[in-house]
Structure 1
Amino acid sequence: MLQVRIAPLPDGLHQESLEPTADDFGLDPETFSDITVDLNLDVGVDRVLAAYTVRSTARLECDRTLDLYDQEIEGSHAVLFSATAEEADDDVRPLPQDATHIDVADSVRDTLLLAVPLRKVSPAARAAEIPTEFGASSEDGIADDRWEALRALRGDDTD
């Protein structure tokens, strides 16, 4: 849970910086560390707009080398808590009239998970050259002598 107290806040803009742990979101603390949430609250009558930016250091496994590396990730999102909302969805949540707190944990967790890159390539692997030719080259241009057996079946000794 990542609850933010809204009861004492007057109407207007408010800023908070939070430092939750990975456990607050049900995430692996070995994967996500140094989490910070910069939260901007726009409080009005019967509504609270919570816009935030979440940053973290993520321990990722490189797709090329399978080595573990750390990468800074960041994501932003906004959620409206409204007294007129009847059902919750991704961007609008109900706000009871007597609410003293809002819980932004689910939204922040989802934003953090979406900030993890799909293609994870470590800085060391980005600098490494990727081989594009395999096998030994031959005089007739065939780099792989396994093709010779197929050529013999065709009865084609020359190109």
Structure 2
Amino acid sequence: MKDLKKFNIPFVGLKQGDHVFEYDIDNTFFEAFNFDEFHSSNIHINLHFVKKSTLLELSFQAKGSVNVDCDVSLESFDQEIEGTFSLIIKFGPEYNDDNDEILIIPHEEYQINVAQFIYELIVLSIPSKKVHPKVLDGTMNSEALERLKELQIDEDSPSEKEEKIDPRWDKLKGLIRE
């Protein structure tokens, strides 16, 4: 995790008030987490850091794109991502991260590493189903989509089930119409 030292924020030396930290994320960041689902990434993180006397307020904003594979066509494309995350850091006797929005760190801590929060923000900003924009607008040409179109059930033509209706049911349908 030595690659993630630039994500350490030594808050003890900071004056009370607002501070801004900016990070540019690429695939080397994700390699530190052994995450390899992105072919490439270009994400800008803006961290608004507010130091108060008893707590720290962190507000993360992520904006950029990651190159991923489409879940339908398996073609790679750039998925635009945008996300926000807010965190309050309080001081207590021991480390406690049971709450997603409040982190308690020991009183003797002098810095915080925000890499894990940035990682989670980015990964959770990716949609669970990644679909290429050309698939959505119908302009994608790929072998997988052509095969899916061949195997698609034609809903306009009557199915075999409808054609083999028992004639006794026809008599009952006549009762409903009358």
Q: Where does residue 134 of structure 1 map in the other structure?
A: 154
Instruction: Give how far 1:24 is off.
Output: 4.1
| 18-27 or 104-113, which deviates more | 18-27
Q: CA deviation at 1:105?
A: 2.2
User: Match for residue 56 of structure 2?
Assistant: 48
**Is the Cα–Cα contact under 8 Å of residues 38 and 68 in structure 2 kept in the other structure?**
no
Aligned mates of 2:8, 2:37 — CA distance in 1? 20
Change (3 A) 1:28 1:63: closer
Is residue 46–residue 97 contact of structure 1 (8 Å, CA) maintained in 2?
A: no
Higher share in helix: 2
Residues 29 and 68 (structure 1), Cα distance of their counterparts in 2 relative to 1, 3 Å cut: closer
**Residues 80-119 of structure 1 aligned to structure 2 (within 5 Å):** 80-84=88-92, 86=94, 87-89=96-98, 90-119=100-129
1:13 alignment partner in structure 2: 18
User: Which of 71, 74, 80 does residue 82 from structure 2 map onto?
Assistant: 74
The offset of 1:43, in angstroms, is: 0.3
Maintained 8 Å contact 1:46/1:95: no
Normalising to structure 1: TM-score of the pair? 0.74
Unaligned runs of 5+ in 2: 140-147, 171-178
% same residue? 21
Shift of the 55–81 alpha-carbon distance from structure 1 to 2, 3 Å rule, reads: same
* 2:127 alignment partner, SS class: coil
Which whole-Å CA distance do the structure 2 matches of 1:107 and 1:65 have between them? 31
Q: How far off its partner does 1:97 sit?
A: 2.7
Counterparts in 2 of 1:105 and 1:25: CA distance versus 1, 3 Å: farther
The answer to whether the 8 Å contact 2:21/2:46 transfers is: yes
Q: Measure how far apart 1:57 and its partner are.
A: 1.9
- How many Å separate the matches in 2 of 1:85 and 1:112? 30
User: 1:38: which partner in 2?
Assistant: 46
Checking the alignment, whether the CA contact within 8 Å between 2:89 and 2:105 is kept in structure 1 is yes
Aligned equivalents of 2:155 and 2:52: distance in 1? 68
Kept in 2, the 8 Å contact 1:33–1:57? The answer is yes
Change (3 A) 1:24 1:10: farther
